[in-house]
Chain A
């Protein structure tokens, strides 16, 4: 009996092997590097380049317009394909994708700065030899070769993401969305707190004069006492969540958050020591403030949890007197029912505009399994060139825009009309201006819209809507004046040293994440004492996982001359 079982097992294993062999048979598509005679100068190779994108659901924009694909094929010989793994959390998707080892010809991911959790995964993968060294490939390019210039990249990108000391000049990760010029604020944007215009008028206040949490509280009480109603006649909610749903954004209580502009909850105390918020009393101060607002009915209890649909619903109906985060281009605010409020000062007492020298939010890499990785680099370079960018931003000449004498694209009126009347249909034309983002992954860098296209905003040179809500909000905010006085800063954030400090281990990273979750729990604790216990536990957890050693490590870095931004 036992023998028969063994035979059975052996025969099954053999079958299995045969099966696996068949399944693994090579099906790599052909790459033809022989340039056809009639091919343009921009021709790279006759091949398919497939990109695998790890981003949150719905954010990857993998669909491409066929005519645009055709144009790319004509100009470069490349058949460009994008695929995506979706998960509720992009880092989780990235982790499983790296584990599977099958990363297509290139892979793209979120990467705001080197302090993000995905950075640990990417460094682990790079150190294990999963990615191709890009430095030699970049040398032969037009746009990406700029990355090799000493002054082009911001410090964090250069020293922590791309050219790390331990890699000796090699680079494995490309950071994207880098501006051509430092200190470029890009699209003029006013974000943060907004308040209902009619309430401002009824109360006769100056919304820009509300600059700290006490003043905001007084304003909230004032609004509450006036018994305003929304469009449906129901009582107004004084402080609502962000326009994208509940979240713990700093805008509302900036002066109670232990951070500068990085949002990482580190600052120097009066003695010049770097401290985490858990080591200060700012956490409990914030809890006290939030609980006061909630208990007095000034803030919606769903401030941290409301779903986006209902948050938008609230804005459309004017149900929130104050929206805790939105920006001046939101279609829901086309009638400028909401105008900018504040901003609230930071913990150091400033509230001026601060612009990062340059910053990025995504990145890509070429797996070491990719054949002819130089094709991917050349293709990325073409996409980042003027021709590639114009294709990605403006679509096809003749179909979507015409060129003026200076060589700037003039968007066709019919496209703008379609965008206005049927955005879904317009999107099918397939480029950034109408909401299709396929070019973001390889081509969106070295940004300077004004110089490249003669306008900052898609179509803004055609539509002369001086009175549009977005522009008006800028004026109300004194945007130009603030921009003139803006500080430009560069440097590394504290968390960007985490990997160097703890390697793959990730315990302190987890502890930092847990602190943020504990803050939320503390807001909803029944009493202040209970909240204090939660925060104390969180501090113990941070210290047990090496917080103090880490801060010493960072202070040493600073002493060694590294610029740190808080």
Chain B
């Protein structure tokens, strides 16, 4: 008995050590990013900053919050994340619930119709043309409508709903509750873990998505934070593009036009963009205690 106790103890130590090591490989690079972001911009240009700022300064953060386009992008991001998550999660849960009704005529076909889209897609070009056809491009709705549903999230919801105690739902049905009411006041309240998880996934998906903002949006006032950050970070691509395209001295006028964002300001923006989502996680975490599973499409 004491042998196995010691074994368990040993295992625990190994376990924690490994986790701490992994955490270090993450924390150290982030320390580096933080150190540069808290260093004065001009001094940071000299390089050589590792994990601690050389010349402390919060000027970069002040500058981030002073930039009108970034603040505007913040609101776009908040809007799409909140609206996209609330509507998306609601609609997905509803669809998933309907798919748990075993007696629903055509259920198999509908399920297949939905899940096939996960296995095969039309590719970027036709997708873009469709968005354009629907006049969604260059509107705020291009962030919300085309990402309302996700097959894998529907799958998570459905598995979770089908494990709810059938008797409670049936009892409500017998009491004459409408299906919408059952869904709202019985199914959803009993499914907090899965709701929390999928809300987190959806919200993070919205927050991180820079791609749609850069390809489907032209109006500078509609660009989300993630896109603005990406544009800031890829200026190397712009420079290489210009260096390649012209020979001799002809490139200089163009090179001088490329907006130069100092490295320390870039790093401060990276941190500002990350923080909201990092702060959300602990609030969602407590729901994980109950757990969720993924099941298969057929049941």
| Direct contact between A and B judged by beta carbons closer than 8 A | yes
* A interface residue numbers (CB < 8 A to B): 1, 4-5, 8, 19-20, 23-24, 52, 55-59, 61-63, 83-90, 96, 99-102, 104, 110, 112, 116, 177, 187, 189, 191-192, 232, 242, 244-245, 247-250, 259, 261-264, 307-310, 312-313, 316-317, 325, 327, 329, 356, 359, 361, 424, 435, 437, 440, 516
Contact present for A52 and B218 (CB under 8 Å): yes
Residue tally, chain B, CB below 8 Å to A: 55
From residue A278, how far is it (CB to closest CB) to chain B in Å? 18
Apart from A56-B238, A112-B250, 4 more pairs, CB < 8 Å: A52-B218, A58-B234, A59-B259, A313-B46
Contact present for A316 and B247 (CB under 8 Å): no
Contact present for A308 and B236 (CB under 8 Å): yes
Q: Which residue of B lies closest to A110 (CB)?
A: B245
Question: Beyond A59-B257, A262-B247, A263-B248, is A1–B106 a contact (Cβ under 8 Å)?
Answer: yes
Q: List the B side residues contacting A316 at CB < 8 Å.
A: 45-47
Q: Does B253 contact A (CB under 8 A)?
A: yes
Contact present for A359 and B247 (CB under 8 Å): no
Of the candidates A55, A58, A359, A435, which one forms a contact with B232 in the assembled complex, judged by CB atoms under 8 Å apart?
A58
From residue A314, how far is it (CB to closest CB) to chain B in Å? 8
Q: Could you list some 17 contacts between A and B, CB below 8 A?
A: A8-B106, A20-B134, A23-B135, A23-B136, A24-B135, A56-B242, A57-B231, A58-B235, A100-B128, A100-B129, A101-B132, A102-B137, A177-B253, A191-B252, A244-B255, A309-B263, A361-B253
Contact present for A327 and B244 (CB under 8 Å): no
Q: Which residue of B lies closest to A354 (CB)?
A: B248
* B interface residue numbers (CB < 8 A to A): 45-48, 63, 69, 105-106, 109, 125, 128-129, 132-138, 214-215, 218-220, 227, 230-232, 234-250, 252-259, 261, 263
Contact present for A112 and B245 (CB under 8 Å): yes
From residue A342, how far is it (CB to closest CB) to chain B in Å? 13
CA distance A55 to B245 in the complex (A): 12
From residue B230, how far is it (CB to closest CB) to chain A in Å? 8
CA distance A83 to B134 in the complex (A): 20
Q: Which residue of A lies closest to B231 (CB)?
A: A57
From residue B101, how far is it (CB to closest CB) to chain A in Å? 15
Q: List the B side residues contacting A102 at CB < 8 Å.
A: 132, 137-138
Q: Which residue of B lies closest to A243 (CB)?
A: B255
Q: List the A side residues contacting B253 at CB < 8 Å.
A: 177, 187, 361
Question: Beyond A4-B106, A99-B129, A313-B46, is A59–B247 a contact (Cβ under 8 Å)?
Answer: no
Q: List the B side residues contacting A329 at CB < 8 Å.
A: 252, 256
CA distance A242 to B133 in the complex (A): 44
Contact present for A245 and B219 (CB under 8 Å): no
Contact present for A232 and B48 (CB under 8 Å): yes
Of the candidates B46, B132, B231, B248, which one forms a contact with A58 in the assembled complex, judged by CB atoms under 8 Å apart?
B231
CA distance A244 to B136 in the complex (A): 37
Contact present for A87 and B63 (CB under 8 Å): no
Contact present for B243 and A249 (CB under 8 Å): yes
CA distance A32 to B262 in the complex (A): 44
Q: List the B side residues contacting A248 at CB < 8 Å.
A: 244
Contact present for B256 and A59 (CB under 8 Å): no
Q: Which residue of B lies closest to A493 (CB)?
A: B247
Most buried by A among B128, B234, B243, B249: B249
CA distance A483 to B162 in the complex (A): 82
Q: Which residue of A lies closest to B255 (CB)?
A: A244
Contact present for B237 and A99 (CB under 8 Å): no
CA distance A232 to B134 in the complex (A): 58
Q: Which residue of A lies closest to B109 (CB)?
A: A5
Contact present for A261 and B248 (CB under 8 Å): yes
Of the candidates A56, A85, A308, which one forms a contact with B241 in the assembled complex, judged by CB atoms under 8 Å apart?
A56
Q: Which residue of A lies closest to B259 (CB)?
A: A58
From residue A429, how far is it (CB to closest CB) to chain B in Å? 14
Contact present for B254 and A59 (CB under 8 Å): yes
Q: List the B side residues contacting A309 at CB < 8 Å.
A: 263
CA distance A295 to B30 in the complex (A): 35
Q: List the A side residues contacting B63 at CB < 8 Å.
A: 424
Q: List the B side residues contacting A99 at CB < 8 Å.
A: 125, 128-129
Contact present for A5 and B245 (CB under 8 Å): no
Contact present for B133 and A20 (CB under 8 Å): yes
From residue B236, how far is it (CB to closest CB) to chain A in Å? 6
From residue A255, how far is it (CB to closest CB) to chain B in Å? 15
Q: List the A side residues contacting B129 at CB < 8 Å.
A: 99-100
Q: Which residue of B lies closest to A116 (CB)?
A: B245
CA distance A248 to B244 in the complex (A): 8
Q: List the A side residues contacting B244 at CB < 8 Å.
A: 247-248, 516
Q: List the A side residues contacting B214 at CB < 8 Å.
A: 85-87
Q: Which residue of B lies closest to A97 (CB)?
A: B218
Question: Beyond A8-B106, A58-B231, is A244–B239 a contact (Cβ under 8 Å)?
Answer: yes
Contact present for A361 and B239 (CB under 8 Å): no
CA distance A289 to B127 in the complex (A): 48
From residue B108, how far is it (CB to closest CB) to chain A in Å? 9
Contact present for B45 and A4 (CB under 8 Å): no
CA distance A59 to B248 in the complex (A): 20
Q: Which residue of A lies closest to B258 (CB)?
A: A59
CA distance A89 to B230 in the complex (A): 13
Contact present for B231 and A317 (CB under 8 Å): no
Q: List the B side residues contacting A4 at CB < 8 Å.
A: 105-106
Contact present for A359 and B243 (CB under 8 Å): no
Q: List the A side residues contacting B255 at CB < 8 Å.
A: 244
